[in-house]
Structure formats: structure tokens, C-alpha cells
Amino acid sequence: MTIFEKIAAREISAQIVWEDDEVMAFHDVDPKAPVHVLIVPKRVIPRLAESADTDQALLGKLLLTTRIVAEKLDLLTSGYRVVINNGPDAGESVPHLHVHVLGKRPLTWPPG
């Protein structure tokens, strides 16, 4: 089980921002910005590159959930960054697809 599966199963506590039957959003324990939330599907997809056509609705839901999280955390006006890491060279550390929402500070480009 990944750490995200354990959080979804309530075996590990997390500061949950939003949740429904398919997706949950919670604060990252090692934030890279004043607001750093992870949005995780409860059904395991190891990474974006391993998603299938049958995952289309869930993938869309993950992105739409970024707006819900941004609204709840007052990021809609100032802006926020959405990041999906895929593979070790991209910084993926947990093999469970997740979306990062970062905000409340200026974010430079390119990330590095």
C-alpha cells in the first residue's frame, strides 16, 4: 500500500481539504509553497503514463478538483500552479497518481 492508500483508508492521518467517493485532497506534509495540497484518486493509478482510456473521467475529475481546492483555499484571484510528476526524473516519489496544487507565493518559471 502506498502512503496515499493509507491516508484514504484513514490508517494515516492527514489534513483533508476536500473529499468525495473518488478523490481526496489534503495538505502535503513537506510543502514547497505556503499552500501545497495533493489531490489523489482513491483508486490507484500508479502514474499518468499508466492511465488508460477507461480512466478519462477520473483524470478529468482530478483537474476539476483543483478549482474546488483553489476556491476553498482562496487561490482563485492570486493564482496557483498545478503539477503532475511522472517518473523519477520528474520528481515522482510515490507511485500513485496525484496532482499538486501550489500557491500563495510567486512561482517562477521554469520550475527546477
96 is a catalytic site residue: no
Separation in Å, CA 6 to CA 1, 13, 17, 46: 7, 9, 17, 15
H or E stretch covering 70: helix 56-72
Question: At a CB cut-off of 8 Å and minimum separation 6, what does 85 contact?
Answer: 91, 92, 93, 100
CB 40 within 8 A of CB 101: no
Query: Which one of 27, 36, 96, 98 is the catalytic residue?
Result: 98
Enzyme catalytic residues? 98
